Structure 1
Amino acid sequence: MNRMVKLIIQGKVQGVSYRRWFAQQAEELELKGYVKNLTTGEVEALVAGDELIIEELLQRSWLGPSRAEVSGIIQTPVQPDAHLKEFKILY
């Protein structure tokens, strides 16, 4: 079953290579979407793929790279977008 979710990852997630780490995890799991920094100090990710694989990414997201400290992840379901073909880091 395909699903798409927007994530807002809170905590110490900027300046610690979180986006690069997150993109590597998403690519390893063959998910589509993007990850980017927000001006609020949070990281936003849009992730599309199999529901069970997205759940795996969510579990990994709490860990992050070694210098990250994730304090919260807000999930919002969104309509799947068939145009997503890869996973990207947005700047």
Structure 2
Amino acid sequence: MAHVARRVVVHGVVQGVGYRWSAAREAARLGVAGWVRNRSDGAVEAVVEGDAEAVHEFVGWARQGPRGASVTSVDVTDEAPGHRVSFEIEP
């Protein structure tokens, strides 16, 4: 299968609801690598890479997020794979 990467920027009520920790759990479940962080504009940003189907599933999850989140929009762009091997929560 193809190895792909996507940058995902999630807007709405997504900080202070455990979004980053939930994203890390979802990434582990799907076997994808990358990182997630809060942005100063209130959004959450992630780069995720791995098997194309697993990355697609992560993006689908990001459109809802964890309980308590209220996602209003998600921007998804292609990213060059960086051959990451783990998923990190960045400060």
Tell me if both proteins adopt one fold, taking TM over 0.5 as the criterion. Answer: yes
Runs of 4+ in structure 1 over 6 Å off: none
Q: What corresponds to 1:24 in structure 2?
A: 25
Q: What corresponds to 2:77 in structure 1?
A: 76
TM superposition shift of 1:37: 0.2
Give unmatched runs, 5+ long, in structure 1.
none
C-alpha distance in 1 between matches for 2:64 and 2:11: 12
Identity of matched residues, %: 32
C-alpha distance in 2 between matches for 1:33 and 1:80: 9
C-alpha distance in 2 between matches for 1:3 and 1:36: 20
How many residues are aligned here?
A: 90
Q: What corresponds to 2:88 in structure 1?
A: 88
Give unmatched runs, 5+ long, in structure 2.
none
Report matched runs for 1:1-16 at 5 Å: 1-16=2-17
Q: What is the RMSD computed on CA atoms of the aligned residues?
A: 0.8
Greater alpha carbon shift after TM alignment, 63-72 vs 9-18? 63-72
Letter in 2 for 1:45: A
Q: What corresponds to 1:64 in structure 2?
A: 65
State the secondary structure of the residue aligned to 2:42.
coil
Letter in 2 for 1:26: A
TM-score, structure 1 normalization = 0.95
